[in-house]
């Protein structure tokens, strides 16, 4: 690791301007985490146009802050309202709300904040040490490796997580198709432009993301959120007792590790790791029956893990150029807007950005710890702001923002169309996330595939005979066939062990 570059990164972060954007980012993140509705991916999408007008490093620091800040904020609504502000805090609801009912909301929030800080810091340390190594190793990657890796990334994001896997894979494939709109960079042929001049340049990532995530979610929330009064529980005594800390320290330690590891995997991320950490605590506990009835470990573990995962999911983005989840796809897009292609060369070519962003997380998390313990009362009061007041403000930010990218009303209409598509997809049970992610990676996969075919002289087996791309593709096949294999195994098991456990089948079918 280049220690000088690392230290220069700190110097950069402590510049007043960058500190300010870091603070703005984590504040916005915390806010949208507290407010149910817009998630971090949608918020980053809506704010993407700002990257055109401020310094690149500051922009990325701010957008990154939104992502990990949201993990802190999501806890507050889970504990106080039984309403997870973020998907990654869903599992916190069980014990968090139970604690709140026993008058221990403050303890739950305090432990969650401490766990979040520890998890994130452990994860940043891991990121600091591991990221340059991975980047150095991946410098040898060629086109076949990149094509395979991007394809695996798309598949993993589509198949891990909630929702029907077939639908998610269809959405991802649609994203890949969408990425081909415009002039083909190899032959100059126009594809799917239907004679439109504006489409020749392809569809702008920002416009697609703002439509599918931003407008889509705004419209969807408009329909969903009637008459849900927010009456948060009273919060007293945020500082946890020594006993509470002692009781949850194991959970925080394990949560940090689980989060770090699962966050690196594409599609893993904060949601998956919070579930896994909760499950791990329940499993090793001597009194698993306490879980769901106000076990402090049930808050500490998932909240630690989701922050650790949110941080470590920067590793594949910054070292391989592969976004691990929808929010990372937004940051990937933001970097592309700034003319920076994320990948293994980033640490050498733009050490300021690489270390600036990583080191900003040390400071951002410190700010979040300070915000979320003494200032929790302020955020609780924000819960009383009616969603109806915020909806038109986000709507206006989105429309005016997308216009400012190219000063083009055509972009507004494209965004509206994608907004409608995003809304309809949600209604019929397709997640827009895999589609946006595949759209971002589409040109990497296609260009990698086509250049590889040139290298292999038309022999597609070349992908499998190169060790790294072969391994990646083998993993691809494994992941793709895993659900099928699993259901066959389950069925065989059900046939041999009588009576047939129908309940298990229900769990296995990939429904929500």
- Which residue stretches of 321-406 are H helix? 326-337, 346-349, 351-372, 376-382, 387-406
Q: Which is nearer to another protein, 34 or 324 (CB)?
A: 324
Residue 360 to residue 343: CA distance in whole angstroms? 19
Q: Which is nearer to another protein, 105 or 174 (CB)?
A: 174
Judge contact between 131 and 347, C-beta under 8 A: yes
DSSP letter string, 183-248: E-TTT--EES-TT-HHHHT---HHHHHIIIIIIHHHHHHHHH-TT----PPP----SPPHHHHHHH
CB 477 to another protein: min, Å: 14
- Reported as type and span, the H/E element at residue 238 is none
Residue 475 to residue 148: CA distance in whole angstroms? 10
Q: Which is nearer to another protein, 167 or 230 (CB)?
A: 167
Q: Which residue(s) pair with 182 in the sheet?
A: 191
Both structure tokens of 140: 């040898």
Q: Which is nearer to another protein, 381 or 493 (CB)?
A: 493
Q: Which is nearer to another protein, 186 or 239 (CB)?
A: 186
Q: Which is nearer to another protein, 218 or 270 (CB)?
A: 218
Q: Max Cα separation, the chain? A: 69
Q: Which is nearer to another protein, 368 or 479 (CB)?
A: 479
CB 285 to another protein: min, Å: 11
Q: ∠ CA(434), CA(437), CA(440), 5° rounding?
A: 150
CB 259 to another protein: min, Å: 12
CB 362 to another protein: min, Å: 28
Strands 182-183 and 190-191: antiparallel
CB 397 to another protein: min, Å: 8
CB 24 to another protein: min, Å: 13
CB 495 to another protein: min, Å: 17
Residues 6 or more apart whose CB falls under 8 angstroms from that of 254 comprise: 277, 280, 281, 301
Backbone angles phi, psi at 191, to 5 degrees: -120, 130
CB 333 to another protein: min, Å: 20
Site of tokens 């529980």: 233
For residue 509, what are the CA distances in angstroms to 165, 484, 490? Answer: 10, 10, 11
Please tell me the chain's helix, strand, coil percentages from 3-state DSSP, rounded to the nearest 5: 75, 0, 25
Residues 6 or more apart whose CB falls under 8 angstroms from that of 397 comprise: 46, 47
CB 203 to another protein: min, Å: 14
Q: Which is nearer to another protein, 50 or 338 (CB)?
A: 50
Q: Which is nearer to another protein, 313 or 372 (CB)?
A: 313
């Amino acid at each position: 690791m280049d220690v000088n570059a690392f230290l220069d990164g700190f110097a950069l972060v402590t510049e007043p301007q960058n500190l300010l954007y870091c603070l703005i980012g984590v504040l916005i993140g915390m806010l949208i985490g507290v407010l149910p509705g817009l998630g971090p991916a949608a918020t980053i999408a809506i704010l993407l146009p700002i990257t055109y007008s401020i310094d690149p490093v500051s922009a990325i620091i701010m957008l990154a802050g939104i992502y990990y800040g949201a993990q802190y904020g999501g806890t507050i609504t889970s504990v106080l309202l039984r309403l997870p502000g973020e998907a990654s805090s869903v599992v916190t609801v069980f014990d968090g709300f139970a604690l709140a009912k026993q008058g221990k909301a403050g303890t739950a929030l305090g432990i969650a904040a401490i766990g979040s800080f520890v998890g994130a810091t452990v994860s940043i340390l891991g990121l600091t040490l591991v990221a340059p190594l991975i980047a150095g190793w991946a410098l040898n990657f060629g086109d076949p490796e990149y094509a395979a890796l991007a394809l695996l990334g798309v598949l993993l994001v589509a198949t891990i997580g909630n929702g029907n896997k077939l639908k998610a894979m269809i959405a991802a494939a649609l994203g890949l198709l969408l990425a081909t709109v415009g002039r083909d960079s190899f032959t100059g042929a126009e594809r799917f432009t239907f004679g439109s001049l504006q489409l020749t340049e392809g569809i702008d990532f920002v416009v697609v993301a703002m439509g599918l995530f931003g407008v889509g979610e705004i419209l969807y929330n408009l329909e969903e959120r009637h008459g849900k009064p927010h009456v948060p529980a009273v919060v007293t005594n945020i500082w946890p007792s020594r006993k509470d800390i002692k009781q949850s320290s194991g959970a925080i330690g394990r949560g940090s590790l689980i989060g770090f590891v699962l966050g690196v995997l594409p599609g893993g991320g904060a949601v998956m790791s919070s579930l896994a950490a909760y499950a791990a605590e329940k499993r090793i506990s001597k009194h698993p029956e306490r879980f769901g009835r106000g076990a402090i470990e049930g808050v500490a573990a998932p909240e630690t893990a989701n922050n650790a995962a949110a941080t470590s999911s920067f590793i594949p983005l910054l070292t391989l150029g592969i976004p691990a989840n929808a929010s990372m796809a937004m940051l990937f897009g933001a970097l592309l807007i700034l003319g920076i292609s994320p990948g293994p060369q980033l640490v050498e070519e733009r050490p300021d950005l690489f270390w600036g962003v990583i080191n900003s997380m040390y400071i951002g998390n410190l700010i979040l710890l300070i915000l979320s313990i003494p200032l929790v009362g302020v955020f609780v009061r924000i819960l009383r702001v009616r969603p109806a007041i915020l909806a038109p403000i986000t709507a206006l930010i989105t429309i005016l923002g997308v216009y400012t990218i190219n000063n083009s009303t055509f972009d507004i209409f494209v965004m509206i169309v994608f907004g409608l598509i995003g809304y309809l997809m949600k209604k019929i049970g397709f997640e827009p996330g895999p589609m946006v992610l595949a759209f971002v990676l589409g040109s990497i996969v296609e260009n990698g595939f086509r250049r590889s075919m040139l290298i292999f002289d038309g022999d597609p087996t070349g992908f499998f005979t190169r060790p790294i791309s072969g391994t990646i593709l083998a993993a691809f096949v494994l992941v793709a066939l895993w659900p099928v294999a699993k259901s066959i195994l389950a069925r065989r098991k059900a046939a041999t062990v009588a009576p047939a456990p129908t309940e298990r089948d229900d769990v296995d079918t990939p429904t929500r």
